[in-house]
């Protein structure tokens, strides 16, 4: 992958076809502001028709898996999200909700990534929750990673993580390795907060919008 310091480089995305799913996460506002800095005004919606019609869908979230899945169920969005064929990006908890199951509350999730979300285990020098900047380790080439250095750093805040697997594009390590970026078909996930990860996060968001 080549390094590009300017997060504005690349194809300009269209703002008319990107929506944010209102899953109740506390970082929805910051994700929306990050998109606005890229010239994209993505509406926040829980309307199934608007989500189905969008060209790109982003599922942000901060909180716990159980309440988030309960909210999606109450809104009638579980089958909607499972049926999407356009690019879908889960951010932080949103990425975990794409998985089959989470140990957090022992809850079934959307089942789009064949993985169980596991609790990070504290150890000597390893604090949970994992908070702060951490180095990425590229596992696979993908257009989502265009322009990202192999040793780029991004900002994490989480206590649960997705173990590495065939779906892992990028890993990181906090005591043990875990998936930092995942992909399966048209579904993508970022465990970190791209909206808080400076030019690296901005470039990753732009790459998703340009898929």
SS3 122: coil
Task: Give percent helix, percent strand, percent coil of the chain, each to the nearest 5.
Answer: 25, 30, 40
Catalytic site residue from 92, 99, 109, 139: 92
Assess whether 99 carries a catalytic annotation: no
C-alpha 51/C-alpha 54 separation (Å) is 5
What end-to-end distance do the CA atoms of the chain give, in Å?
A: 16
Catalytic site residue from 130, 158, 174, 193: 193
Assess whether 92 carries a catalytic annotation: yes
Assess whether 193 carries a catalytic annotation: yes
Please give the structure tokens belonging to residue 159: 């206590």
C-alpha 121/C-alpha 160 separation (Å) is 9
Cα-to-chain-centroid distance, residue 108: 18
C-alpha 104/C-alpha 110 separation (Å) is 14
In whole angstroms, how far apart are CA 180 and each of 41, 45, 95, 108?
A: 26, 26, 9, 21
Q: Would you please indicate which residues are annotated as catalytic (active-site) residues?
A: 92, 193, 195
């Amino acid at each position: 992958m080549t390094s590009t310091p300017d997060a504005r480089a690349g194809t300009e995305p269209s703002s008319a076809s990107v929506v944010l799913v209102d899953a109740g996460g506390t970082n929805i506002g910051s994700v929306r502001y990050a998109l606005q800095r890229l010239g994209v005004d993505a509406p926040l919606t829980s309307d199934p028709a608007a989500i189905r019609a969008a060209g790109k869908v982003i599922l942000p979230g901060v909180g716990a898996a159980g309440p988030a899945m309960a909210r999606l169920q109450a809104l009638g969005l579980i089958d909607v999200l499972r049926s999407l064929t356009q690019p879908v990006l889960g951010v932080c908890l949103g990425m975990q909700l794409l998985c089959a199951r989470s140990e957090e509350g022992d809850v079934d999730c959307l089942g789009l990534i064949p993985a169980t979300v596991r609790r990070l285990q504290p150890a000597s020098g390893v604090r949970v929750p994992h908070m702060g900047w951490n180095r990425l380790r590229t596992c696979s080439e993908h257009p989502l990673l265009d322009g990202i250095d192999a040793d780029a750093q991004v900002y994490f805040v989480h206590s649960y993580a997705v173990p590495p697997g065939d779906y892992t594009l990028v890993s990181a390590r906090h005591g043990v390795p875990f998936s930092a970026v995942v992909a399966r078909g048209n579904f993508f996930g970022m465990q970190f907060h791209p909206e808080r990860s400076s030019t690296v996060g901005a470039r990753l968001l732009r790459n998703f919008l340009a898929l």
